[in-house]
């Protein structure tokens, strides 16, 4: 069953396109992943799907009785309630459709938030606030879940736990959209469909490993070793102590690890498209 459909959507901000002519559908039992650089339009696209922004053109169709859960990239709200009170209040908004109280307690424990139940949310670290926001997005048992950079400031254990909860929602007929600037190769198999947000457009990726490349950026240190032949094959730029490597997504992490072992400074990465 189709939960939402964006048909030729465009959104402008002060005369500039955040995204244009985007067509997208989300179905039950689907996790859709949108990869893109900062400023590529992912956040504003999710805001539009959540009806927080109105598109300048095109049409957004949402299934009847849709229940949204949304984790924004940055929550401007200053939450003075304790973690326990805040999550309990959010849960109550969905009434009988929300997870049971016992399930909420299990989710809180699973996300490592039990020690912080009596702390005001505003006093938490960014990573802990992100977990609270994630729990707030899922406790209503939404059938449409939108997550903007949900894995920010999280360790690998918490990312795996988040993905387990997301997968459980998917298996219970929800549709989920995840937007992120980075992708860990270890989580690729969780996603049913993959998209690339680039040049204000949303592109469906049919073969994630082949279609998406990264430009990895490094700088040279005084004790940096020469590039071995297996890495120099990917060399794109070598100018003034700046090294850029164009690599397929599937080997991105292993290349970064090897370059660090060769004493290069890792400066960052950006998504490319074949």
Of 4-8, 161-165, 175-179, 252-256, the least confident = 252-256
Give the pLDDT score at 14.
80
Model pLDDT for residues 119-152, shown as the tens digit of each residue? 999 999 999 999 999 999 999 999 999 999 999 8
- Asked if residue 186 has pLDDT above 70, the reply is no
Q: What is the mean pLDDT of the chain?
A: 90
Q: In whole angstroms, what is the distance from residue 53 CA to residue 45 CA?
A: 9
Q: Considering Cα of 188, then 189, then 191, then 196, what sign does the dihedral take?
A: positive
Q: What are phi and psi of 91, to 5 degrees?
A: -60, -40
Please check whether residue 31 is in contact with residue 167, taking contact to mean a CB–CB distance below 8 angstroms. yes
Model pLDDT for residues 41-54, shown as the tens digit of each residue? 999 999 999 999 99
pTM of the model: 0.78
Q: Tell me how many degrees the CA angle 166-168-172 measures, rounded to the nearest 5.
A: 115
Model pLDDT for residues 199-221, shown as the tens digit of each residue? 889 988 876 555 578 899 999 99
Domains located in the chain, CATH noted: 2-205 (3.40.50.300), 213-272 (no CATH)
Q: How confident is the model at residue 77 (pLDDT cuts 50, 70, 90)?
A: confident
Higher-scoring residue by pLDDT: 250, 120 = 120
Give the pLDDT score at 13.
83
- Cβ count within 10 A of residue 108: 20
Burial class of residue 7, CB neighbours in 10 A (0-12, 13-18, 19+) = middle
Give the pLDDT score at 273.
59
């Amino acid at each position: 069953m189709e939960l939402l459909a964006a048909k030729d959507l465009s959104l402008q901000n002060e005369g500039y396109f955040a995204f244009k002519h985007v067509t997208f559908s989300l179905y039950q039992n689907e996790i859709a992943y949108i990869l893109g650089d900062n400023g590529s339009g992912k956040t504003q696209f999710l805001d539009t799907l959540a009806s927080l922004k109105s598109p300048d053109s095109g049409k957004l169709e949402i299934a009847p009785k849709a229940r949204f859960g949304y984790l924004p990239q940055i929550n401007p709200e200053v939450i003075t309630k304790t973690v326990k009170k805040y999550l309990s209040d959010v849960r109550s908004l969905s009434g009988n459709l929300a997870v049971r109280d016992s399930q909420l307690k299990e989710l809180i424990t699973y996300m490592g938030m039990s020690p912080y139940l009596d702390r005001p949310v505003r006093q938490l670290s960014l990573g802990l606030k992100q977990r609270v926001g994630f729990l707030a997005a899922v406790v209503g048992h939404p059938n449409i879940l939108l997550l903007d950079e949900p894995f920010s400031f999280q360790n690998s254990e918490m990312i795996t736990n988040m993905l387990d909860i997301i997968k459980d929602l998917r298996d219970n007929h929800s549709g989920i959209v995840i937007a992120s600037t980075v992708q860990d190769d270890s989580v690729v198999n969780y996603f049913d469909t993959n998209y690339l947000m680039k040049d204000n457009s949303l592109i469906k990726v049919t073969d994630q490993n082949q279609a998406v490349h990264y430009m990895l950026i490094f700088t040279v240190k005084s004790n940096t070793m020469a590039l071995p032949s297996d890495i120099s094959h990917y060399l794109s730029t070598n100018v003034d102590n700046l090294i850029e490597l164009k690599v397929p997504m599937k080997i991105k992490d292993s290349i970064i690890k090897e370059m660090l072992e060769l004493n290069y400074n890792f400066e960052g990465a950006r998504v490319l498209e074949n």
